[in-house]
Structure 1
């Protein structure tokens, strides 16, 4: 008889590509994973790995067995959940990954709603940039729903089977210190920002590259006095008079006194917001969560202000 523990380990080895990575994920040593896989090969009479001195490669049979094992494990989990439900103790889990500003101003409000406070529903939240969230949505991954953005036209490379759900556009705003004398909503020419200090994204990130392109296209070669990927920090540095910045509207739900939004038509930039659902997510919970996102006040605010 095949061991369910060994099958769960096989799924992780195939997904992550190594005994060490699977062991780290499951809390085993690489040696313990190797022993489990050897026992599974013996029990199934199927060669699952090609082993060499330095590496281990799953065979086609391992990939096929991994897919079947994943279905079997899902059925087993559902069976256990049904048993708990019959006893009144079932808890259903939805694992959500979200970038910081949407977690702070949107997800934090959704989980306060009565439906998501139900003791039978557990929402587990991971905070991370899209590059960290997207890999967790692959089959057998750590996430069921991801809330992501992308800037520019490059888009995101998604795992197979992930569904997209459009949430809206989040325009970047130019924010300057109030002490510079500009009134909120003032329309500025880009030349008025040529010689002022700037607060930009950390160099080397994909977003920073987009910012560089937009600024250079407008003839700006900014004097950078600070680099930050935390928009809350950026806004407070602007309010302190340290420099000018471009901040997405969603992150400005709590804009501090001393930071003023101005209009600079030459610096138009928007990030696109999406919810992503993994192929093996609990679809009823995932769809309800996406609907709650679409109805969130903050998304309505930025949509109305665009």
Structure 2
């Protein structure tokens, strides 16, 4: 039994699919299936139950998962402590990020690491809010960039940026031409909204309810790219998005946006670390670089002067 076998087992348990793991590892599904079968024989029992949509852990698999996660955590901390004896900071830092925060922030952080700390490697994983929280809770990532709906107060979370909400459409529509639009103007608008259950969707629905109406979800989609493509191709459609996710499209004129007011619907971008976990030297360096970068960008997740910035809050 090798440590790579244990890591593969945890990866399959998290993704729930041999196919997804194979794609992530750039191999074929049969190779992953064979490795897991060999691992199950070594363990002495079935770890996964095959379903029509992938695989789920058996009761025995759940037991093994708990033990393996603890062992891997201890091993990672041991290897990390060994690496700290080196004068040159090194090691892998696993970061969970929202899709709208992945670029250009992570691209910039990688460039700085490449030049200043070449032995530190990034492992970047995109996800939605609840998924990233789960990754933090299980220790699957060392830090995460999240959207919160209240300012962070704990020592394990740092406020990076504050983001307003924008009503976004294709260019030329009168409703999104002014700088601002009152939330009550959303009544009856055909919207592309995130799917339920979603904390953000719940907040939007509750805000509309407090104004005496319900939001009209003509399309529901979690993917930011899908939302943006739909409204860009349909002149009657709108979406409620943050400024970082539409910066490129606003700059190039593909989309048009007005800030939603009354209420403002602010979201807070935070850098969160696991409440309990081993904070390595490499993790501390990456965390500091993220804070320095966003601070240098005046609290934005995009550079106000670099390529890809619209140079405006809109």
- 2:99 matched to 1:103? no
Residues 188 and 146 from structure 1, CA distance in 2 versus in 1: closer, same or farther, beyond 3 angstroms? closer
Task: Using structure 2 for the length normalisation, give the TM-score.
Answer: 0.64
Q: 1:181 aligns with which of 174, 199, 206?
A: 174
- 2:67 matched to 1:74? no
Taking the aligned partners of 1:261 and 1:28, their CA distance within structure 2 comes to 49
- 2:283 matched to 1:280? no
Unaligned regions of 5+ residues in structure 2, if any? 14-31, 46-57, 303-311
TM-aligned CA deviation for residue 189 of structure 1: 4.2
Task: Using structure 1 for the length normalisation, give the TM-score.
Answer: 0.66
Paired position in structure 2 for 1:124: 123
SS at match of 1:220: coil
TM-aligned CA deviation for residue 192 of structure 1: 3.9
Paired position in structure 2 for 1:200: 193
TM-aligned CA deviation for residue 213 of structure 1: 1.0
CA deviation digits over 1:224-251, x for unaligned, max 9? Answer: 2222222333234333324122111221
Taking the aligned partners of 2:69 and 2:188, their CA distance within structure 1 comes to 59
Paired position in structure 2 for 1:260: 256
TM-aligned CA deviation for residue 114 of structure 1: 4.8
Taking the aligned partners of 1:263 and 1:291, their CA distance within structure 2 comes to 31
Paired position in structure 2 for 1:145: 143
- 2:284 matched to 1:290? no
TM-aligned CA deviation for residue 100 of structure 1: 0.8
Q: 2:244 aligns with which of 224, 242, 250?
A: 250
- 2:230 matched to 1:237? yes
Paired position in structure 1 for 2:16: none
Equivalent pairs, count: 262
TM-aligned CA deviation for residue 218 of structure 1: 2.4
Taking the aligned partners of 1:73 and 1:109, their CA distance within structure 2 comes to 27
Taking the aligned partners of 1:75 and 1:194, their CA distance within structure 2 comes to 57
TM-aligned CA deviation for residue 132 of structure 1: 2.0
TM-aligned CA deviation for residue 96 of structure 1: 1.1
SS at match of 1:108: helix
Paired position in structure 1 for 2:20: none
Question: Highest CA radius of gyration, 1 or 2?
Answer: 1
Paired position in structure 2 for 1:47: none
CA deviation digits over 1:19-66, x for unaligned, max 9? Answer: xxxxx9xx6556446459xxxxxxxxxxxxxxxxx84597xxx98x99
Do the aligned partners of 1:105 and 1:298 also contact (CA within 8 Å) in 2? no
SS at match of 2:144: strand
